[in-house]
Structure 1
Amino acid sequence: MQLQPVSLDVIAEAREEAHAVLATLMARLAPGEHVVRLGVDMEGQRPVSAVLPVTVEGDGGCDDLVGVEAKYFDNFAFLLMCGLAQTLCSGVLYLRSTGVAGQATVRAWHLSWGALNECPAAEAAELLGGREPGAYEDAFDLHAADDGPECEAVYPPVAYTVL
Structure 2
Amino acid sequence: MKLKPISMDVFAEAREEAHAILARLMGRLAPGEHVLRLGIDMDGQESPLSATLPLTVEGDGGLDDLVGADAKWFDNFAFLLSCGLAQTLCYGVMYLRSPATEPGGAAYTVQAWHLAWGVLGECSAAEAAELIGDGEPAFFLDAPGVHSAEDHEEGEAVYPPVAYTIP
Structure 1 length-normalised TM: 0.83
Q: Which residue of 2 aligns with 1:86?
A: 87
Verify the 8 A CA contact 1:10 1:85 in the aligned structure 2: yes
Verify the 8 A CA contact 1:36 1:94 in the aligned structure 2: yes
Gaps in structure 2 of 5+ consecutive residues: 150-167
Q: Which residue of 1 aligns with 2:141?
A: 137
CA distance in 2, matches of 1:130, 1:117: 22
Extract structure 1 runs of 4+ deviating beyond 3 A: 99-103
Deviation digits for residues 28-61 of structure 1 (CA, Å, limit 9, x no counterpart) = 1011110000000000102100000000010110
Q: Which residue of 1 aligns with 2:78?
A: 77
Q: Which residue of 2 aligns with 1:64?
A: 65
What is the SS of the residue equivalent to 1:74?
Answer: helix
Structure 2 length-normalised TM: 0.81
Verify the 8 A CA contact 1:106 1:132 in the aligned structure 2: no
The structure with higher relative contact order (CA 8 Å, sep 6+) is 1
Deviation digits for residues 52-82 of structure 1 (CA, Å, limit 9, x no counterpart) = 0000010110110000001100000000000
Q: CA deviation at 1:101?
A: 6.9
The within-5 A match list for 1:28-47 is: 28-45=28-45, 46-47=47-48
What is the SS of the residue equivalent to 1:72?
Answer: helix
What is the SS of the residue equivalent to 2:44?
Answer: coil
What is the SS of the residue equivalent to 1:35?
Answer: strand
Q: CA deviation at 1:144?
A: 1.7
RMSD: 1.7
The within-5 A match list for 1:1-163 is: 3-45=3-45, 46-99=47-100, 103-144=107-148
* C-alpha spacing 1:40/1:132, structure 2 compared with 1 (3 Å): farther
Larger radius of gyration: 2
Aligned length: 144
Which amino acid in structure 2 is aligned with residue 90 of structure 1?
Y
Gaps in structure 1 of 5+ consecutive residues: 146-163
CA distance in 2, matches of 1:92, 1:42: 12
Verify the 8 A CA contact 1:97 1:104 in the aligned structure 2: yes
CA distance in 2, matches of 1:108, 1:132: 15
CA distance in 1, matches of 2:137, 2:85: 28
CA distance in 1, matches of 2:19, 2:136: 25
Q: Which residue of 2 aligns with 1:161?
A: none
Q: What's the % identity of the aligned pairs?
A: 69
